[in-house]
Amino acid sequence: MKENKEDREPKIVGFLCNWCSYAGADLAGTSRIEYPPNIRIIRVPCSGRVNPLFVLKCLMDGADGVLISGCHIGDCHYSEGNFYARRRFAILKRLLEYLGIDSRRFQMSWVSASEGDKWSKLIKELVQEIKQAGPNKSNDKKHD
């Protein structure tokens, strides 16, 4: 039986900044706003803490998507961490695309501590997009 693209539940790794996005996701939970369970959250101090290597390792070890989420520009707990992240990952995003890795697999967002509803909406969209991108084939035999 052929597996339908839409049926397969993708695995997404989320790197969430402790101060905004993690709290935002938490708020979504405590407010009982539903969102798909496809995302595995890793809490980081700041979106500026995330290294391109983290993203790469997730994608190479089989994650179907990676999300980095931090405070809105101007709201960083460390004043400027997300500015650095924005620059760094703009380059990575374009490079991944250039290498032919589906750019939907790597996304970034700003979600504040009060945006539980934005978080839920974001994840719903993200899961849809990544479902369309299909399963990540990095664990295929040809990669050995």
Partner 1 sequence: MIDELKIKARELLKNKQVDLIIGYQRASDGVLAMPCFVDREEDVDKLIWDVYCVYNLANYLKDYAGQKIGIIAKPCDVRSIVVLLQENQLRRENVYIIGVECSGVIDEKRLRLGAKDIQESATFGVKCKSCKSSTPSICDYLFKDKEKKGKISEDKDEYESVRKLEVRSSLERLKFWEEEFSRCIRCYACRQVCPMCYCPKCVADQAMPAWFSKGANLKGNLSWNLIRAIHLGGRCIDCGECERVCPVGIPLRELNKKIEKDIKELFKYEAGANVEQKPLLASFDKDDPGDWIK
Q: Residue from 5, 8, 40, 87 that binds partner 1 (CB under 8 A)?
A: 87
* Cα separation values, 109 from 2, 12, 26, 142, Å: 34, 14, 16, 33
**Cβ atoms of residues 66 and 13 within 8 Å:** yes
For partner 1, how many residues bind (rule: CB under 8 A)?
A: 35
Site membership for partner 1, residue 98 (CB under 8 A): yes
CA 114 – CA 91 distance, rounded (Å): 29
Q: Residue from 29, 36, 77, 84 that binds partner 1 (CB under 8 A)?
A: 84
* Residue at token pair 């250039």: 98
Q: Residue from 92, 124, 128, 135 that binds partner 1 (CB under 8 A)?
A: 92
The residues in 13-52 that bind partner 1, with binding defined as CB under 8 A, are 52
Burial class of residue 86 (count of CB atoms within 10 Å of its CB; 0-12, 13-18, 19+) = middle
Q: Residue from 18, 36, 75, 83 that binds partner 1 (CB under 8 A)?
A: 83
* Sign, CA torsion 3/5/8/13: positive
What's the closest the beta carbon of residue 123 comes to partner 1, in angstroms?
A: 11
Q: Residue from 28, 64, 105, 107 that binds partner 1 (CB under 8 A)?
A: 107
Q: List contacts with partner 1 (CB under 8 A).
A: 52-53, 56-57, 60, 73, 80, 83-84, 86-88, 90-102, 107-110, 122, 125, 138, 142-144
